[in-house]
Amino acid sequence: MNIYVLVKRTFDTEEKIVVSGGKIQEDGAEFIINPYDEYAIEEAIQVRDAQGGEVTVLTLGGEDAEKQLRTALAMGADKAVLINIEDDVEELDQFTAAQIISEYLKDKNADLILAGNVAIDGGSGQVGPRVAELLGINYVTTITNLEIDGTSVSIKRDVEGDTEVLETSLPLLVTAQQGLNEPRYPSLPGIMKAKKKPLEEVELDDLDIDEDDVEAKTETLEIYLPPKKEAGKVLEGELADQVKELVQLLHSEAKVV
């Protein structure tokens, strides 16, 4: 089976966000594979191990993203592709990303494409379904279980807490929700092997893409931090009085009940 995983390099979840000059400061920040993409990588490896085939991890970004691709290779992916847009694309949005990724994938005959259901930085969850639509294949988002039998696929997906059980077929794009699996850590031998695994780098020219054709449809005007919350009021006194006071405050001061 020919499997692709779309991964994104993101800020570590523990990182404090610093904004300066209307931009997020990246200097010194730790970067990781988007946590939801880790579920996608793990699932891809498990499917390959059960069904045979090859797992290719693909990312869109700059030279820096090589580290995350090597981590995915160390987990067990077979090949990696970096679509390096560093020099060509100044502003990108989900439209841009999906157009470029699908242009790369269009002649690859992927049976299964996996991605995280959302990236924890941009948080839009668009690129996966957009790519599927551009490739003309079906997609299922926020999956928590995947079973493949020939070209038949049984899936469980999370729908705001409910579980939807559905059937579809390959080729298919799925996006991973938490609960799909427990992503493995790269093993030491895995890390050693990853250094020798193929990592292909392509640019827009290689894909015959003119950057004007993939120009972002949306524009970020400003990035800012939420207003700092003033320190809250920790109540004091007898517990019973505190509870009474809290209910009064919520009712009369905050007016939320």
188 interacts with other proteins by CB under 8 A: no
Contact pick of 50, 178, 187, 206 for other proteins (by CB under 8 A): 178
Question: Alpha-carbon distance 252 to 257, whole Å?
Answer: 9
> Least distance to other proteins from the beta carbon of 229, Å?
6
> Least distance to other proteins from the beta carbon of 87, Å?
22
Q: Of 163 and 187, which CB lies nearer to other proteins in the complex structure?
A: 163
Q: Of 80 and 209, which CB lies nearer to other proteins in the complex structure?
A: 209
| Burial of 29: CB neighbours in 10 Å, binned 0-12, 13-18, 19+ | middle
233 interacts with other proteins by CB under 8 A: yes
Contact pick of 13, 49, 50, 210 for other proteins (by CB under 8 A): 13
Is residue 166 within 8 A of residue 31, CB to CB? The reply is no
94 interacts with other proteins by CB under 8 A: yes
Number of Cβ within 10 Å of residue 75's Cβ equals: 23
Question: Alpha-carbon distance 31 to 94, whole Å?
Answer: 20
Return the structure tokens found at 217.
């449809």
250 interacts with other proteins by CB under 8 A: yes
Return the structure tokens found at 8.
């994104």
For tokens 């929700």, the residue is 177
Contact pick of 42, 43, 93, 103 for other proteins (by CB under 8 A): 93
Looking only at residues 198 through 217 of this chain, which bind other proteins when binding is defined by CB under 8 A? 216-217
Looking only at residues 106 through 125 of this chain, which bind other proteins when binding is defined by CB under 8 A? 120-125
> Least distance to other proteins from the beta carbon of 39, Å?
10
| Burial of 53: CB neighbours in 10 Å, binned 0-12, 13-18, 19+ | middle
Contact pick of 127, 148, 174, 180 for other proteins (by CB under 8 A): 127
Per CB under 8 A, the segment of 54-62, 107-115, 139-147, 183-191 that binds other proteins is 139-147
Contact pick of 159, 188, 204, 205 for other proteins (by CB under 8 A): 159
Q: Of 167 and 208, which CB lies nearer to other proteins in the complex structure?
A: 167
Is residue 64 within 8 A of residue 31, CB to CB? The reply is yes
Per CB under 8 A, the segment of 53-61, 187-195, 204-212, 229-237 that binds other proteins is 229-237
12 interacts with other proteins by CB under 8 A: no
Angle formed by the axes of helices 94-105 and 127-135, nearest 10°: 40
The three-class DSSP label of residue 110 is coil
Question: Alpha-carbon distance 62 to 145, whole Å?
Answer: 32
Is residue 30 within 8 A of residue 11, CB to CB? The reply is yes
Question: Alpha-carbon distance 170 to 138, whole Å?
Answer: 8
Contact pick of 67, 163, 198, 210 for other proteins (by CB under 8 A): 163
Residues in the chain: 257
Looking only at residues 25 through 64 of this chain, which bind other proteins when binding is defined by CB under 8 A? 35-36
